A and B are shown apart, each in its own frame.
Chain A
């Protein structure tokens, strides 16, 4: 008789082959050659801000990087204490803004925004805009503003002088760029130079030169705007950079009059926002300081969001998770972790033999707490458990039917969570921010199971099972926190097939569980009888 395990092993093998096949196909299609996969630098950036809040209404808004075809953002993460974070989309330019507001006490706050970026200047700098949208947007970028004095006679005269004799728009832009890049000097200035000042002084920094170029373009009827961001270079810096985007041949084309780049920018230009804005805006804040810490990743997979008309290419592209916006990437990250947690549960159950309460309970609990320090996660869990068990004790006296009783417990757990969030809001801990992720239903069932176990099998059994659960949660917690794993899963989601293969193999494991070496230890001395 053929054991079903043989089929399972064949299937597991097939899945592994399939995973490798899908990955290599994707890899070959997207990069043409295998060595191409490891090209183009990946930068790890941490944006550190510290400030003192003077008032509970204090806030800071800063620009967060957004995705484009040429700019790739992954592994976005935040570290903060006593502030609440929100993402907003602001302005005509639809910039991505990270707003943090004071929560809890006034005083010194530190916020860290971490992300990885890869920039590929072979990809289009901007995507074509729909016709209707163009008609609405393009006139907006012809406006005269306080710092971009496009309607000033001096600017107008200069623009006319530079472009006279040229009817082609592209040539006009070229002339304006050449003037700003080569005839206006590069010079450090204090504060912010406007277009006129820059023209008068015949020199300025990136901001002044860029504003001048935008103003000159606008003066001849070409839409243009500022873009701001970071020049990527290893080390610590607190200077951002500003350049120009010109509406040319139906798309936005970048120019950097300071560093003299026209139409394409080097792969070190990280775009943070568009428009004439400061990097940060704030209210009720003292001693605001910030710096960027930039490092290069030693090993990376190149990102794959090519815009291509080739069908196969775009199918392969659509499988890349990194093309998703950062907000969705976060959800995928969580989804990807869960199967890994389930695999750990399989190993713990069937190979090690550690008892736990609920099948996937430990994996879900670990997911709920993996953002907070472990001790806080476990403490919260135990607080809820003891709260739940005391309520369960009262429920027992009331002799309620099962489902209503569980529903009461669920509601109590939720009330407990709300109270915890409110309490921790004013205390020096980041616990409250993540506690909402604890799966309430799992928590409710955990309480009920603990109660039943204690009642039916005694405290010791309950305690053992609870300890088993905590051990499993802890291990899964560390697995979840292991960055390379989640990054690998994200870049190579085919690994899920390999995880299924591993699960199939655990499913065929019929030898002893580790715990059974202890359980059956006393049988070592007996005689073999038949």
Chain B
């Protein structure tokens, strides 16, 4: 073990909480990002595209009729309004006679869907375990850019902004090991993205540097993310209206609708530093000092 990484100005979790989240993110505004419906409203306010909402379920009595209604969609996503870390997200990719196929290949009946929605409503996936709402929305079909480089599932792009200045970005690519989810803890690839150019510059799986995607063997370095300028600008626009100063915004790239904001986060994780092979602290402090002048 060596302390030399400290020279790299890495931001630790205590310092993130203490120096940024506690100081810049007021608790009363957390729900602007903790609740996905709120985030969508903010995005609409500044005309940033979001996945189309098919239904919002608040009451138990609505579950049955809405489950019935869902039969008219070939694919959709059910997620908790106050979910965290991608928990409780149900991605339906195909409709069969009287069942659906999930993104991971499992087949589910309308009873399973009913049960899942009721679990969401009772707060199982909700931050702080409070009763929650379930959102049914458009399923994102990954942009062709991803077809060759990633495995199943939907990749996303995370940008961390401080005082509405984009600080660091990363692309999260699902792997077989992550079960198709763009969750770094489960083994998805984190690909660092140069914030100005939108070019990928390094990649990690957990703590290990990689050059290629483990399932597709596709090269991960030096790729340019499509419509990066727009993503960058929209992230800034959204960060200006959300009343929190240190946030992470997640985008997905849909093959038809282009970049969409899927959610924002008031406590964005620190693995983005591993993906970029760079600490956050230098840049954050520069912004802070600039603003204080």
A residues contacting B by CB (< 8 A) are: 4-5, 350, 353, 399, 401-403, 452, 456-458, 461, 508-513, 516-526, 528-530
Contacts and interface: CB of A to CB of B under 8 A. Distances in A.
B38 interface: no
Contacts of B85: 456-457
Interface stretch (B149-157, B225-233, B274-282): B274-282
Given A452-B87, A511-B14, A523-B278, 9 more contacts: A399-B112, A402-B123, A456-B85, A457-B185, A457-B186, A509-B14, A513-B12, A517-B5, A523-B279
Nearest to B123: A402
B278 A526 contact: yes
Given A403-B122, A520-B273, A510 B18 contact: yes
B274 A461 contact: no
A458 B5 contact: no
A461 B185 contact: yes
Interface centre among A517, A519, A523 (most CB of B within 10 A): A523
B204 A522 contact: yes
A-B pairs with lowest CB-CB distance, top 6: A402-B122, A510-B18, A512-B12, A399-B115, A526-B277, A524-B5
A228 B183 CA distance: 72
A530 B9 CA distance: 11
Given A508-B18, A520-B274, A521-B207, A528 B1 contact: no
Interface string B80-111: 00000101100000000000000000000001
Given A522-B274, A529-B278, A401 B14 contact: no
Nearest to A515: B13
Contact of A523 (B87, B115, B118, B273): B273
Contacts of A452: 87, 124
A194 B132 CA distance: 80
Contacts of A523: 5, 8, 10, 273-274, 277-279
Contacts of A509: 14
A428 to B, nearest CB: 42
Contact of A520 (B5, B112, B115, B123): B5
Interface residues of B, number: 45
A529 B17 CA distance: 24
A457 B273 CA distance: 21
Chain A binding site: helix, strand, loop or mixed by DSSP? Answer: helix
Contacts of A457: 85, 183, 185-186
A389 to B, nearest CB: 17
Nearest to B116: A399
Nearest to A402: B122
Contacts of B112: 399
Contacts of A529: 278
Contact of B9 (A402, A521, A528): A528
Contact of A530 (B15, B119, B286): B286
A521 B1 contact: yes
Contacts of B111: 399
Contact of B119 (A402, A518, A520, A521): A402
B209 interface: yes
Contacts of B6: 512
A516 to B, nearest CB: 5
A482 B123 CA distance: 40
A202 B12 CA distance: 86
Nearest to B208: A522
B4 interface: yes
Given A512-B14, A523-B274, A524-B4, A456 B204 contact: no
B283 interface: yes
A353 B119 CA distance: 31
B7 interface: yes
A522 B12 contact: no
B19 interface: yes
Contacts of B208: 522
A524 B15 contact: no
Contacts of A526: 8, 277-278
A353 B16 CA distance: 14
A516 B12 contact: yes
Nearest to A519: B207
B255 interface: no
Interface in B58-85: 85
Contact of B15 (A401, A510, A528): A510
B43 to A, nearest CB: 26
A390 B191 CA distance: 38
Contacts of A522: 204, 207-209, 274, 277
B22 interface: yes
Nearest to B6: A512
Contacts of A516: 10, 12-13
Contacts of B5: 517, 520-521, 523-524
